[in-house]
């Protein structure tokens, strides 16, 4: 009986607790106010813009290359001998003016050869003179002998006729006259034959004289070659000669550079060369059009800067020619030529010299009616962001060329439109914009 009483009390207590909890919950619910509706506001992208205007822009092709002297020659001795004298400035980096003696070779043997050739010439000249005089004398003697032969023949005929017709004289006397006539005729014939040979002998002597003159000229040239002179205002690049050294013909002992004209070979991307290089128009009759090679380039003025110097100083050169097309690198190499007299020292006190690695800017053709925008304002998909009112639009454009920090585009945008120059990462189309540099 007691057990029933305890259970009933617990049930009543639990029911009261549940009723009190439900009542409290309804009471609190009646006291709670609904929250105010939150206002959803669209956030804007703060950007800067640039108005677009089409313009004609000259292309600037940039390349790099090393300066070299246009003419570099190797000097070798043309005659053999011992070096007896060397120019005091004959050392690497030395500057030697044109026509100054670089080194001398012992000239005594070559002087002796010259003297011997001169003596032989003089001897042959005297021989020719003697033959010509003797020729004239013997011609006169032939005429004298011809007259004597005629007299001897007349005398022979006379005594012969007297003996045969008048029986005057003797047979021995006639024989003596015949003998005298024959001797005179033989003497005349021998002298005539000798006279006929004089022109041949003179000709032979003159030919020998020509040979002697050639030997004399050769000996003179060899003597002059014992002095090796600078062919131009030369900078010494290599020296392989010493005092007392025996040199042989053909062995290079010096290397000289002519810095009067400098060149830079600049490899360019073949697409840049094809699209932007300025080729001169060739005349139809110049005969060059038929060659399977590039035409002449317009000699435009190029800007040359040493990569190690400050950016304020530069030199000017001329675009000269196309040197080669490299199939492996797909580059076209062009030559820039500079006047060595116009390569004075820059702001750091150094002139443009062989071996400097330089940046070269080559003016190309004209890009017509293009839009100039900052390089970072166009993404990798060739898209730009346009501010259309206060909304963002994504436009596909044709990027023609990038020069420095600027990219030039054509199509996709219209004159007067403004592109967004602020760097944005994958913005949504039609995003709200707040233009910071909007004109008042």
Q: Which helix (H) or strand (E) holds 26?
A: helix 2-31
How far CA 127 is from CA of 28, 135, 173, 284, 338, in Å, comes to 154, 12, 45, 63, 61
CB 384 within 8 A of CB 419: yes
pLDDT given for residue 30 in this prediction: 64
pLDDT confidence band for 440 (50 / 70 / 90):
low
Mean pLDDT over each residue of the chain, to the nearest integer = 85
Angstrom CA distances, 397 to 52, 59, 60, 311, 413, stand at 13, 19, 21, 33, 7
pLDDT band at residue 48 under the 50/70/90 scheme? very high
Closest to 59 measured CA to CA, from 333, 396, 332, 406: 406
| Edge-to-edge order in the sheet of strand 227-229 | 227-229, 101-105, 81-86, 246-247
Count Cβ atoms within 10 A of the Cβ of residue 192 and give its class: 0-12 exposed, 13-18 middle, 19 or more buried: middle
**DSSP letter string, 56-112:** EEEEEEEEEEEEEEEEEEEEE-SS-EEEEEE-TT-STT-EE-TT-EEEEE--HHHHH
Q: Which parts of 270-343 are beta strand (E)?
A: 301-306, 315-326, 331-339
Answer whether residue 1 shows pLDDT above 50: no
- The answer, yes or no, to whether residue 378 has pLDDT greater than 60, is yes
Beta strands in 208-251 (DSSP E): 227-229, 234-239, 246-247
The β-bridge relationship of strands 55-76 and 357-374 is antiparallel
Name the pLDDT band for 215 (thresholds 50, 70, 90): very high
Q: Looking at residue 6, what is its pLDDT? A: 61
φ/ψ of 236, rounded to 5, equals -80, 125
Spatial CB neighbours of 213, under 8 Å, sequence gap ≥ 6: 121
Query: What confidence tier does 24 reach under pLDDT thresholds 50, 70, 90?
Result: low
CA distance 417 to 419: 7
The C-alpha R_g of the chain, in whole angstroms, comes to 55
How confident is the model at residue 285, as a pLDDT? 47
Could you give the angle at the alpha carbon of 235 between the alpha carbons of 234 and 240, nearest 5°? 105
Q: Look at residue 438 in the predicted model and tell me its pLDDT.
A: 76
| 326/268 Cα distance (integer angstroms) | 10
- Per-residue pLDDT band for 348 (boundaries 50, 70, 90) equals low
Work out whether strand 406-410 and strand 357-374 pair parallel, antiparallel, or are unpaired.
Answer: antiparallel
What does 415-440 look like in DSSP terms, one character per residue? TT-EEE-S--SSPPTT-BEEETT---
Q: What is the pTM of this model?
A: 0.69
The pair of three-digit structure tokens given for residue 155, joined into one six-digit string: 């005398």
Say which range, 33-42, 175-184, 193-202, 236-245, has the weakest mean pLDDT. 33-42
User: pLDDT at position 90, please?
Assistant: 93
**pLDDT given for residue 138 in this prediction:** 76
Closest CA to 152 of 186, 185, 175: 185
Name the burial class of residue 166, with classes exposed (0-12), middle (13-18) and buried (19+) by CB atoms within 10 angstroms of its CB. exposed
Q: How far apart are CA 279 and CA 320, in angstroms?
A: 11
Q: DSSP class of residue 406?
A: E
Which of 221, 231, 240 has its CA nearest to residue 107? 221
């Amino acid at each position: 009986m007691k057990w029933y009483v305890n259970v009933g009390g617990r049930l009543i207590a639990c029911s009261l607790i549940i009723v009190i909890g439900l009542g409290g919950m309804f009471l609190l619910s009646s006291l709670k106010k609904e929250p105010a509706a939150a206002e959803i506001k669209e956030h804007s992208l703060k950007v800067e813009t640039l108005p677009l205007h089409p313009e004609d822009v000259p292309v600037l092709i940039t390349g790099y290359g090393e300066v070299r002297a246009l003419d570099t020659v190797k000097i070798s001795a043309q005659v053999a001998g011992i070096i007896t004298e060397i120019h005091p400035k004959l050392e690497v980096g030395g500057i030697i003016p044109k026509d100054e003696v670089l080194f001398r070779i012992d000239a005594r043997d070559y002087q002796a050869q010259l003297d011997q050739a001169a003596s032989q010439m003089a001897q042959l000249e005297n021989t020719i003179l003697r033959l010509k005089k003797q020729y004239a004398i013997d011609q006169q003697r032939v005429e004298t002998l011809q007259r004597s032969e005629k007299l001897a023949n007349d005398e022979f005929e006379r005594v012969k006729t007297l003996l045969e017709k008048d029986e005057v004289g003797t047979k021995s006397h006639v024989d003596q006259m015949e003998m005298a006539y024959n001797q005179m005729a033989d003497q005349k014939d021998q002298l005539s034959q000798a006279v006929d040979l004089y022109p041949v002998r003179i000709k032979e002597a003159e030919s020998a004289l020509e040979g002697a003159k050639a030997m004399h000229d050769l000996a003179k040239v060899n003597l002059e070659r014992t002095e090796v002179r600078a062919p131009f205002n030369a900078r010494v690049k290599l020296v392989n000669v010493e005092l007392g050294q025996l040199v042989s013909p053909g062995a290079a002992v010096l290397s000289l550079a002519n810095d009067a004209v400098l060149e830079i070979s600049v490899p360019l991307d073949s697409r840049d060369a094809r699209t932007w290089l300025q080729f001169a128009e060739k005349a139809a009759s110049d005969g060059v059009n038929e060659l399977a090679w590039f035409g002449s380039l317009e000699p435009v003025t190029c800007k040359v800067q040493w990569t190690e110097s400050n950016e304020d100083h530069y030199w000017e050169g001329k675009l000269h020619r196309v040197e080669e097309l490299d199939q492996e690198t797909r580059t076209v190499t062009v030559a820039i030529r500079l006047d060595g007299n116009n390569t004075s020292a820059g702001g750091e006190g150094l002139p443009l010299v062989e071996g400097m690695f330089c940046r070269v800017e080559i003016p190309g053709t004209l890009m017509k009616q293009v839009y100039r925008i900052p390089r970072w304002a166009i993404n990798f998909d060739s898209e730009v962001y346009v501010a259309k009112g206060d909304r963002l639009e994504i436009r596909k454009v044709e990027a023609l060329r990038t020069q420095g920090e600027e990219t030039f585009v054509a199509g996709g945008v219209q004159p007067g439109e403004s592109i967004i120059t602020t760097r944005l990462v994958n913005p949504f189309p039609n995003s709200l914009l707040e233009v910071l540099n909007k004109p008042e």
